[in-house]
């Protein structure tokens, strides 16, 4: 399918985690392949359903053969009632399953509406995966065990390109209508700004992104876009502070816990997740600043050395003719 124009868009990462009932290290390569086949089978089973948000053909992507890396597939060609502008990606490694969608709109309430539709449909895929057990060639040995998927926890990360302008426009409308700007998106859930360095030679320039954390998703309203490292840090922070924590909380519960509809995490985990995101992103920013200063100093020293060389050359030329 031809790619549509991508001026402003929304990147969705549905981050899922398999719970095998007990802490495990890694599945074997054979078990990873076995579970990957089942994952693709579950998607292929659900896609034909009339209300499923996307229709299309799932094709595996031949990536370099690295044992500790994601297995990837894409839905291409595809059609959807949602304005999806790139082929959806499905990635899997060990306990992690990540679905990437790229949507071509950024209106806040439309994002919320389609989020619920997509999560509802993916829930059917997850239900089909529950109870699946990978085989073990020697179940009584030290290596493989017949691990069974007991549950699947998921949580969306939604990144809105140029989304900061939505919030800034709200502030402007507030001024025009003489309304307190506190009545805006940042006040609807736990929201804070996170700075990001600009280009390395702009030592004192910043971008600021709005991070909105709720029990249903993390939304990033970007000032422009965010770099790959920033996005990767957010994903790992959500896994560490949100999804793994929810898994441990429910696994250790004394009695069954009834999950509320569409709530990925509870309120206590929400506060912890917000702190983990801030801490991990701050570490990423501090490291970037150190590297940026080192590059700036190296550039300054190299420029100074070049300037001294030029001055020395000019002086030597002058001494010849004077």
pLDDT above 80 for 198 = no
Nearest to 53 by CA among 128, 129, 113: 113
pLDDT given at position 186: 84
Share of the chain above pLDDT 70, in %: 81
Considering only CA atoms, give the Rg of the chain. 25
The SS3 assignment for 36 reads: helix
| Helix ranges (DSSP H) in the chain | 29-46, 108-129, 164-176, 228-238, 244-251, 267-321
For residue 108, is it left (φ>0), alpha (ψ between -120 and 50) or beta?
Answer: alpha
pLDDT given at position 298: 72
* pLDDT higher at 105 or 129: 129
Nearest to 74 by CA among 86, 53, 59, 52: 59
pLDDT given at position 261: 45
With bands split at pLDDT 50, 70 and 90, how would you rate the model's confidence at 16?
Answer: very high
pLDDT given at position 262: 43
Tokens of 76: 């291409």
Largest CA-CA distance found in the chain, in angstroms, rounded: 95
With bands split at pLDDT 50, 70 and 90, how would you rate the model's confidence at 201?
Answer: very low
The DSSP element (H or E) to which 76 belongs, if any, is strand 71-80
pLDDT above 50 for 101 = yes
pLDDT tens, position by position, 20-60 = 988 777 888 899 999 999 999 999 999 999 989 999 999 99
* pLDDT higher at 5 or 225: 225
pLDDT tens, position by position, 293-310 = 666 677 678 777 878 887
Q: Are 88 and 68 in contact (CB under 8 A)?
A: no
72-87 average pLDDT score: 92
* pLDDT higher at 192 or 100: 100
pLDDT above 90 for 14 = yes
Tokens of 248: 């441990």
Cα–Cα distance for residue pair 106/161, rounded to 1 Å: 8
The SS3 assignment for 85 reads: coil
pLDDT tens, position by position, 126-157 = 999 999 999 988 776 667 888 999 999 999 99
Please give the backbone phi and psi of residue 106, each rounded to the nearest 5 degrees, phi first.
-140, 10
Q: What share of the chain is helix, strand, coil (3-state, %, to 5)?
A: 40, 25, 35
pLDDT given at position 5: 46
pTM (2 decimals)? 0.81
Q: Are 38 and 46 in contact (CB under 8 A)?
A: no
pLDDT given at position 22: 80
Domain residue ranges in the chain: 10-229+255-264
88-93 average pLDDT score: 95
pLDDT given at position 311: 82
203-231 average pLDDT score: 83
Tokens of 85: 């502008």
Mean pLDDT of the chain: 82
Cα–Cα distance for residue pair 245/238, rounded to 1 Å: 10
pLDDT given at position 63: 76
pLDDT above 70 for 75 = yes
Q: Are strands 89-93 and 190-197 parallel, antiparallel or unpaired?
A: unpaired
The SS3 assignment for 265 reads: coil
Q: Which residues pair with 103 in a beta bridge?
A: 10, 84
Q: Are 148 and 132 in contact (CB under 8 A)?
A: yes
Cα 5–6–11 angle (5° rounding)?
140
pLDDT given at position 235: 93
Cα–Cα distance for residue pair 212/221, rounded to 1 Å: 8
């Amino acid at each position: 399918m031809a790619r549509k124009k991508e001026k402003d868009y929304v990147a969705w990462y549905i981050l899922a985690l398999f719970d095998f009932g007990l802490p495990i290290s890694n599945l074997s390569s054979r078990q990873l392949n076995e579970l990957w086949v089942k994952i693709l089978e579950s998607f292929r089973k659900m896609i034909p359903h009339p209300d499923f948000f996307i229709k299309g053909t799932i094709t595996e992507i031949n990536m370099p053969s690295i044992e500790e890396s994601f297995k990837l597939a894409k839905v291409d060609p595809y059609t959807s009632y949602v304005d999806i502008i790139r082929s959806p990606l499905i990635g899997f490694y060990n306990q992690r399953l990540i679905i990437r969608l790229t949507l071509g709109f950024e209106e806040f309430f439309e994002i919320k509406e389609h989020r619920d539709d997509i999560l509802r449909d993916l829930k059917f895929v997850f239900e089909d995966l529950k109870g699946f057990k990978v085989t073990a060639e020697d179940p009584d040995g030290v290596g493989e065990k017949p691990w069974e998927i007991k549950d699947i926890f998921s949580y969306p990360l939604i990144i809105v390109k140029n989304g900061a302008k939505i919030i800034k426009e709200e502030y402007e409308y507030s001024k025009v209508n003489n309304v307190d700007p506190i009545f805006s998106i940042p006040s609807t859930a736990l929201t804070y700004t996170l700075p990001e360095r600009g280009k390395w030679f702009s030592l004192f320039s910043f971008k600021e992104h709005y991070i909105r954390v709720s029990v249903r998703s993390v939304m990033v309203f970007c000032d422009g876009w965010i770099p790959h490292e920033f996005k990767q840090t957010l994903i790992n922070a959500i896994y560490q502070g949100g999804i793994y924590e929810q898994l441990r909380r429910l696994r250790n519960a004394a009695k069954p816990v009834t999950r509320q509809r569409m709530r990925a995490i509870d309120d206590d985990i929400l506060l912890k997740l917000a702190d983990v995101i801030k801490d991990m992103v701050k570490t990423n920013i501090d490291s970037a600043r150190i590297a940026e200063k080192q590059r700036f100093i190296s550039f300054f020293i190299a420029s100074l050395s070049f300037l001294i060389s030029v001055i020395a050359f000019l002086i030597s030329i002058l001494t010849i003719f004077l």
